[in-house]
Chain A
Amino acid sequence: MMARNLFIPITLGLVIAFLIGPFLIIVAASFSGGETLAFPPQGFSLRWIAKVFTVESFRDSFFMSLFLAVGGTLVALILGIPASYALSRYKLPGAETIRTIVSAPIIVPGIIVGLSLLRYIVVPFQVGITLALFLAHTALILPYAVRVVSASLGNLRSDIEEAAVLLGSSRLGAFFRVVLPNIRGGIMSAFILGFVTSFNQVPVSLFLSGPGVRTLPVDMIAYMEIVFDPSVAALSALLAFMSIGIVFLAERFLGFSRYV
């Protein structure tokens, strides 16, 4: 039994060190006084964190990414929740086909998605880059929305709403009064997962950039192509803390990890 007692802390210690280590390096590098990423950091300063706020393109692309992540996830949920409901509660002809179509964006490499949208939607239909990015990000989030909401619906007994319908509630009324409140946590989890996926997405956005339009991660890469200083580390650390804050609140109030 001794071996078993040691097994748990050692395994978890190693795994967490491996997973979190790089993040700690990034955080440490953000406070570095030197000119490059280094560990241990050379000296201490806040200048790289300050610099993040002075780079104008970071601000523009931050709002672009925020817009894509929030807007794209909302639209994906508006499309995805009814679809998940249909898939889990109805005898649906071609259910498997629909499921495959909706989850296809996970399987296809992001670069292909970006490239094909550029070549066959942006160019022939004169669609703006912003709209194209929005469509791409929505499509990309959709599989996560459907998967998480479906899982959440699967955990909810369907006889409750059937009972509500038998008791005279309309199908729609039953959905809004009985189902929706019960899958709230799942929806929030889908929202967070979608937000994070979109916000950190690189390959899809790589080709979908135009004058003045660029997502934050692509902008970070472009910045690093020219300047390799710790300000990108500082920016990443700030963004990570933002995401962690959101997830922490979600876990606190909704039990996020149950749904992912």
Chain B
Amino acid sequence: MNKVMLASGVALMLSMGAAHTALAQEKILTISVYALAQDEYKKIVYAPFEEKCGCKLVVETGNSVERIAKMDANKANPVVDMAVVSMADALSAARAGLIDKIDTSKITSYDKLYDIAKDPNGDGMSIGYTFYATSIAYRSDKMKIESWADLLKPEYAAHIAWPNVTTNQGPPSLYMLGQALGKDTPDLAAPIEAVGAAKDDIVTFYEKSSQLVQLMQQEEIWAAPIGRFTWAPFSKLDMPIAWATPKEGQTGGMNVMIVTKNSKNRDLALQFMDFWLSADVQSKLAEALIDSPSNSQAKVSEAAAKNLTYGDETAKSLKLIPSAVSLDNRAGWLKSWNEKVGQ
């Protein structure tokens, strides 16, 4: 028995070693992305691109902040060639000297992108590939949501989940709550105070939006602010769930592409970005209800458009927090959140 185990262990180690040497022969592009819908991305983006370039894609997944932290740790010897992160994290990576300016002449569809996607941080270091609205998913049979402040009503608060301030949806939701309260200072003091006052009632301050579907299904919650990109599974639940259009409007976010400083595969990375931003790929991603296109030439069916955040008008109407505001206040938000809500 021991011999068998030993043999299988050795075989495994050998096969792993072999796999690594095989990889070393090819051109490799290492990308770092959100873990979202990897099977579909593989079909629509990665596999066709690998075929086109004759190279191999290695994909790292995780949330935006974690992956930036890892890029920072590997700064001297970058592992990742290109990454997609949130707008604010792109700015933080830029300030930390982790990324370079993007040579937009290599991106053929650059001119076709919506204006807000071209250079969202104004430093030439990021390009938006998708944007999304953030609003409230709620049980229309249990409650009525007309304002962001409605969530904190005493009769509702015990049935809602609110995004933690550390998530991508956290600050935008607080920002809209601030607007509803009529006190929208960049330090988000008033909305954090308001959430803090209701903290014992609120079911949870969620960090992973996927959990919300489960909580919604078992009626632990009736409502939560979410990004539109997580809407699809809610609509599949056998319950009356609606997407709120609060009078203060919707907020949202944009995800952007960045290239790592000192990356050895810059050309390949730009080719990949060019491919991903093409109208064809963007249309397919939209049809699969994964990403709302930032390429204005992307063709989207009506059915898909209904589930996504789609079109120039919508893009312009979203109340986004500027990256610099978000970055400069992040530590302060976390501090006051921990004081008012965290304990």
Residues of A within 8 A of B (CB): 34-38, 54-57, 63, 66-67, 70-71, 74, 118-119, 123, 126, 130, 187-188, 191, 209-212, 222-228
Contact = CB atoms under 8 A, between A and B. Distances in A.
A54 B42 CA distance: 13
Interface of chain A, main secondary structure: helix
Contact of B218 (A38, A54, A130, A209): A38
B32 interface: yes
Contacts of A63: 12
Nearest to A212: B58
A1 B16 CA distance: 61
Contacts of A119: 73
Given A119-B73, A123-B73, A210-B79, A35 B237 contact: yes
B2 to A, nearest CB: 8
Contacts of B6: 74
A222 B35 contact: yes
A123 B210 contact: no
Interface in B17-68: 30-32, 34-39, 42, 58-63
B167 to A, nearest CB: 11
Nearest to B77: A126
Contact of B39 (A56, A70, A71, A228): A56
A109 B42 CA distance: 36
Contacts of B213: 35-36, 228
Nearest to A130: B16
A249 B8 CA distance: 18
B281 interface: no
B113 interface: no
B39 to A, nearest CB: 7
A225 B74 contact: no
B79 A211 contact: yes
A222 B1 contact: no
B208 interface: yes
Contacts of A74: 5-6, 9
Nearest to B16: A67
Nearest to A115: B73
Contacts of A57: 38
Contacts of B237: 35-36
Nearest to B217: A36
Given A71-B12, A74-B6, A126-B77, A225 B35 contact: yes
B5 to A, nearest CB: 7
B233 interface: yes
Contacts of A35: 213, 217, 233, 236-237
A35 B216 CA distance: 12
B288 interface: no
B214 interface: yes
Given A67-B13, A123-B73, 10 more contacts: A38-B218, A56-B39, A57-B38, A74-B5, A118-B73, A123-B74, A126-B77, A211-B30, A225-B35, A228-B210
Interface of B: 1-2, 5-6, 8-9, 12-13, 16, 30-32, 34-39, 42, 58-63, 70, 73-74, 76-77, 79-80, 208, 210-211, 213-214, 217-218, 233, 236-237
A222 B62 contact: yes
A138 to B, nearest CB: 12
A210 B67 CA distance: 10
A188 B59 contact: no
A190 B141 CA distance: 56
Contacts of B16: 67, 130
B12 A66 contact: yes
A71 B236 CA distance: 43
Contacts of A70: 5, 8-9, 12
Contact of A224 (B12, B32, B208): B208
6 contacts: A35-B236, A54-B39, A71-B13, A118-B73, A187-B2, A225-B63
A126 B62 CA distance: 22
A35 B8 CA distance: 38
A212 B9 CA distance: 21
Given A35-B213, A227-B210, A211 B80 contact: yes
Nearest to A218: B62
Contacts of B30: 211
Given A123-B73, A226-B210, A228-B214, A211 B37 contact: no
Contact of B12 (A34, A67, A210, A228): A67
Contacts of B31: 211
A26 B49 CA distance: 38
Nearest to A128: B20
Nearest to B213: A228
B210 A56 contact: no
| Most-contacted residue by chain A among B9, B16, B39, B77 (CB, 10 A) | B9
Nearest to A187: B2
Nearest to A206: B66
A211 B8 contact: no
Contact of B59 (A38, A211, A226): A211
B5 A224 contact: no
A228 B211 contact: yes
A219 B285 CA distance: 23
Contacts of B63: 225
